[in-house]
Amino acid sequence: EDKVVQSPLSLVVHEGDTVTLNCSYEVTNFRSLLWYKQEKKAPTFLFMLTSSGIEKKSGRLSSILDKKELFSILNITATQTGDSAVYLCGLGGSQGNLIFGKGTKLSVKP
């Protein structure tokens, strides 16, 4: 059964800190792994990682995929209060859907 586990479930940091969010997975047939940010509304897309694209970066956010060890990390450097959100990791499932982890709630204090 395809499965996604995110850790930690919650995290509190101060502005300027660097954070690393973890996503480990089990999958029969890997298609993709996606990261989303959710701020009390709909999830918004951040990154998609595939066999041909195992590293992505956008500004202060970056993500890598380790297909051998079956995990991905999302890094946020120089955190800001606007980074406070729930970060979701989704695994491309066999039905074309995404199988989501429970998310990591990040709180950035001023």
**CA 80, 82, 84: angle at the middle one, nearest 5?**
90
Dihedral, 26, 31, 33, 37 alpha carbons, nearest 10: -120
- Looking at beta carbons only, is 15 or 26 nearer to other proteins? 26
Tokens standing for 49? Answer: 């990682």
Tokens standing for 75? Answer: 């890094």
Instruction: In angstroms, give the least distance from the CB of 46 to other proteins.
Output: 9
Instruction: In angstroms, give the least distance from the CB of 25 to other proteins.
Output: 13
CA distance 83 to 76: 8
- Looking at beta carbons only, is 17 or 107 nearer to other proteins? 107
- Looking at beta carbons only, is 95 or 110 nearer to other proteins? 95
Residues near other proteins, by CB under 8 A: 31-32, 34, 41-45, 48, 50, 88, 90, 92-93, 95-103
**CA 35, 8, 79: angle at the middle one, nearest 5?**
65
- Looking at beta carbons only, is 14 or 45 nearer to other proteins? 45
Instruction: In angstroms, give the least distance from the CB of 17 to other proteins.
Output: 25
Instruction: In angstroms, give the least distance from the CB of 93 to other proteins.
Output: 8
